[in-house]
Amino acid sequence: MISKRLSMILSMVEPCEVLCDVGSDHGYLALAVLKKGLAKDVIATDLRHKPLQHTQKTFAQANVFEHISYFLSDGIHQVNTNPNTVVICGMGADLILKIIKQDIDRFKIMTQIITQANTRLPYLRKEMASLGFEMTEEKIVKDGFFYIAQSYHYIEKAIELKEEAINFGCLLSVEDDLVYEYLLSEKSTLEFILKNNPKSKKHLYLLSLLKTRLDERVN
């Protein structure tokens, strides 16, 4: 049984030949991808020995010894084949972007890149767009916290996103109850910040954008 967050990420994986889970840690996602038949082969990478051993243990306990390879690697840098799909989840946006940028030419030829950042999500959306990665799906789940994941592919030209899309999601519909709840929590956060710093132009602007989006809800 995987977490709601990992289930959401799993639901975004398109069938492929080879999927690479970067920073696999426990290996639950990589194992679920293989078990569900979403990839013929899975690559699990981690920067550190211990998490990679954890992944290996997860696969051994599930009696899965084929169609999986393990790489001690910084992102995909030490991975010697090109996966079709890469999942980079459960990390900060800065680290996700560092991993993508250091092997950008390899990411450009991938069919699908799935990200789920724990921090600085607006920065991730903005940077991915300016690097030429188009978002094709964005999903949200609540499991204690709100978790938001994106699916991307490369389109060879930089995309300029509006501030509203950068900050409150490109493909998150206000008609979705969970999205609405999330946006209300973002509104509370902005109001709290403005209470302590009422003249912050940036936060006043974001709050006005957010209110407009919330008002667009019809149901």
- Residue 4 interacts with ligand SAM (CB under 6 A): yes or no: no
- Indicate which single residue of 95, 114, 141, 207 sits in contact with ligand SAM (rule: CB under 6 A): 95
Smallest separation, CB 58 to ligand SAM (Å): 12
Binding mask 155-194 for ligand SAM (x = CB under 6 A): ----------------------------------------
Stretch that binds ligand SAM, among 32-40, 46-54, 154-162, 197-205 (CB under 6 A): 46-54
Among 33, 91, 117, 141, binds ligand SAM (CB under 6 A): 91
The interface region with ligand SAM, picked from 85-93, 129-137, 189-197, 207-215 by CB under 6 A, is: 85-93
24: left (phi over 0), alpha (psi -120 to 50) or beta: alpha
For residue 61, CA distances in Å to 1, 19, 28, 58, 111 come to 14, 21, 11, 5, 31
State how far the Cα of 128 lies from the Cα of 134, in Å rounded to an integer. Answer: 7
Considering the rule CB under 6 A, would residue 51 count as an interface residue with ligand SAM?
yes
Is residue 86 at the binding interface for ligand SAM, with CB under 6 A as the rule? no
Nearer Cβ to ligand SAM (103/134):
103
Binds ligand SAM (CB under 6 A): choice among 2, 7, 15, 47:
47
Distance CA 9, CA 4 (A): 9
Closest to ligand SAM by CB, 73 or 183: 73
- 61-67 long-range CB contacts below 8 Å, 24 or more apart? 62/31, 62/35, 64/31, 64/34, 64/35, 67/34, 67/40, 67/41, 67/42
- Three-class HEC string of 172-192: CCCCCHHHHHHHHHHHHHHHH
What is the spatial distance between Cα 78 and Cα 72, in angstroms, rounded to a whole number? 7
Residues that bind ligand SAM (CB under 6 A): 22-23, 25, 45-48, 51, 74-75, 89-91, 95, 99
